[in-house]
Structure 1
Amino acid sequence: MRHSFVSIVISILTIIYISIFIIDQTERGIILRFGKVLRDHENKPIIYKPGIHFKIPFIEIVKILDARIQTLEIQADRYLTSENKDLMVDSYLKWRVTDFSRYYVATGGGKPYQAETLLKRKFSDRLRSEFGRLSVNDIITDSRGRLTVDVRDALNKGTSIDESTKETDTDIANAVARVEKEINIKLPVVNANSMTALGIRVVDVRIKKIELPNEIFDAIYARMRAEREAVARQHRSRGQEEATKIRAVADKTVTETLAEAERASLILMGEGNAIATKLFADTFRQDPEFYAFIRSLRAYEKSFKNGDDIFIISPNTDFLRFMKAPN
């Protein structure tokens, strides 16, 4: 008897344990009964908020969905402006689930990667369309803030039919059709190509970086390098021209200075020779014989520099008269 009572208590506690589920502050829950989202008498999905809740064991299954704002990084991609110029754009967006029932069915069981896949495609298509109507100057100036707001609003509210986003819009519309089939009622009027149709709201869109593709960078650098080299060549040619002018002026100054110095030296030499000649003349007039004697001695000094000098000359010549008769 006691053993049976313990078994019953344990069974009851087990049932109570598996009947209780707890929803965290950052989450929301929905219950699936026989694979269908549990709804109230007004056919609205029952969303379980943070706290302790109960379910029917073995019949109802709890699905926990993240209620926080999610960040979706968009890989840098190439976009074409209205001027047919390529830009590499690195961006991200923030989104959150607003309709958990719609989101669960549209994403095939609350799978975030499916929602992010559609969100990435829709965002890229919308951003490409916005870039296509703006110039580079518009994008990098005041229109950049307006651009992100327009993209966010287009994602939340949807857009008119656009051939460039037709494939993505079709996938979103198919997800909406699955939702309507699941609940078997007509949903409130929502643009079928908007994120709202998937139970998602885009909170914010941001562009982190806009830059030119690498090949355009290389072309710009090559052009800048060519321009700088042209300027350098121009400066070098001007420098060479100035150097030639300065060198010519210097050569002219040197030539003129040397010519002036030579002229002055010739004048001084002439004046010196004149003075010397005058001195010789005065000396000659005062004592011609002594002058002749001195001149002969100087001639001997210059002629007989060492003992090896040999002269073949007549002994009767007047040049040797002071050697033969010094007195």
Structure 2
Amino acid sequence: MEPNKPQNNPVKPNPWEKPLKPKKPKTPREPINFKKYWKLITVLSLALFALIILLTNVYVVKENEYRVVRQFGEVVGIYEEPGIRMKTPFIQSVSTLPKYQMTYDVSEAEINTKDKKRIIIDNYAVWHVVNPRELITNAVTIVNAESRMEEFIYSVVRTELGQLNYDEIINDENSSRGSLNDNVTARVNELLEKDQYGIRVVDVRMKRTDLPEENEQSVYTRMISERDSTAQDYLSQGDAKKREIEAQADREAQEVIASAKKEAALIQSEGESEAAKIYNASFSKDPEFYELYRSLQSYTKTIGDDTVIILPSDSPYAQILSGNLE
């Protein structure tokens, strides 16, 4: 028997595989010669640097703001007209101050009124910057300007309310209460202008007035008592007015009734006078009939259902009753 010989089994090619391409030999690249492009690189670098410097030193002035330019910390320009401007690179800086109106909430404070009542007040102020240079010189920052404004508001409000009673402060119908805000605003502006802080207060308003907790109940009780007393005064005045109107109406009614009775009496007397004239004219034509008529009238008044009359038989009155008219 022959030993087993290795069998040569050829590998069948896969029709789905792409045939491998023979690799091309790599050609060595030439090194870049930077010396050839150094002028172009320098020009582009300088242009980019100039563009960066330009963009970082251009600023825009908006309608509702001030732009303050400082050079080594000193103010060299303040601009408020809208537009595009440029500062000197590296030695100048630009900051912004608001030009629009702002609202500042003043801290609550406790004061004493003229009638020795302790109250807590809460105000707010509407203000704006009118002179940026004065603000930077004397107040330095917006925060410092608001702090000084708050001090002036507290001082003026304490002085103004110290001249009013508590009832005048809480009563909106009182004229002095209505002008308080205007007085405080005007006085605060005088103090700000005197110290040249560069800001102006448009309006100061009192948002709320409260009592300390230990005084609230006693004041409320007193207010209720005063309102009850006022209500009783109104009721008393109403009753007095009612009685006055009723008396006037009764007096006018009595006058109308008396006038009517007087007029009725005149009419009745005129009627009786006219009737008497007619009776006289009628009875004068037949006196005997008149005597008979008067006698019959007297009978109707003297004789009733239970009347008993005792008369002599020969009296004319008895003869008439008996029917003897001769």
TM normalised by structure 2 equals 0.52
Q: Aligned with 2:95: secondary structure?
A: strand
Q: CA RMSD in A?
A: 2.3
The CA deviation string for residues 7-43 of structure 1, in whole angstroms up to 9 with x for no partner, is 111121112112201123321111001211115xxxx
1:119 matched to 2:149? The reply is yes
1:235 maps to what in 2?
A: none
Distance 1:199 1:114 in 2: 12
* Preserved CA contact (<8 Å) 1:28 1:50: no
TM-aligned CA deviation for residue 48 of structure 1: 3.7
User: Whose Rg is larger?
Assistant: 2
The CA deviation string for residues 257-313 of structure 1, in whole angstroms up to 9 with x for no partner, is xxxxxxxxxxxxxxxxxxxxxxxxxxxxxxxxxxxxxxxxxxxxxxxxxxxxxxxxx
Distance 2:64 2:55 in 1: 22
Distance 1:148 1:71 in 2: 15
Q: Give the counterpart of 1:18 among 50, 56, 65.
A: 56
How do residues 1-327 of structure 1 correspond to structure 2 at under 5 angstroms? Answer: 1-39=39-77, 46-108=78-140, 111-139=141-169, 140=171, 141-158=174-191, 191-192=194-195, 197-220=196-219
Consecutive unaligned residues of structure 2, counting only runs of 5 or more, are 1-38, 227-326
Q: 1:211–1:57: structure 2 CA closer, same or farther, 3 Å change rule? A: same
TM-aligned CA deviation for residue 205 of structure 1: 0.7
Distance 1:115 1:83 in 2: 34
Distance 1:119 1:67 in 2: 17
Q: Aligned with 1:191: secondary structure?
A: helix
Q: 1:54–1:48: structure 2 CA closer, same or farther, 3 Å change rule? A: farther
1:236 maps to what in 2?
A: none
* Preserved CA contact (<8 Å) 2:61 2:79: no
Q: 1:220–1:151: structure 2 CA closer, same or farther, 3 Å change rule? A: closer
TM-aligned CA deviation for residue 135 of structure 1: 1.9
* Preserved CA contact (<8 Å) 2:63 2:80: no
TM-aligned CA deviation for residue 143 of structure 1: 1.5
Q: Aligned with 2:79: secondary structure?
A: coil
Consecutive unaligned residues of structure 1, counting only runs of 5 or more, are 40-45, 159-171, 173-189, 228-327
TM normalised by structure 1 equals 0.52
* Preserved CA contact (<8 Å) 2:62 2:80: no
* Preserved CA contact (<8 Å) 1:29 1:48: yes
TM-aligned CA deviation for residue 75 of structure 1: 2.6
* Preserved CA contact (<8 Å) 1:47 1:100: no
- Aligned amino acid, residue 147 of structure 1: L
2:308 maps to what in 1?
A: none
How many residues in Structure 1 have an aligned counterpart in Structure 2?
Answer: 185
* Larger relative helix fraction: 1
Q: Aligned with 2:155: secondary structure?
A: helix
Distance 2:165 2:128 in 1: 32
* Preserved CA contact (<8 Å) 2:110 2:120: yes
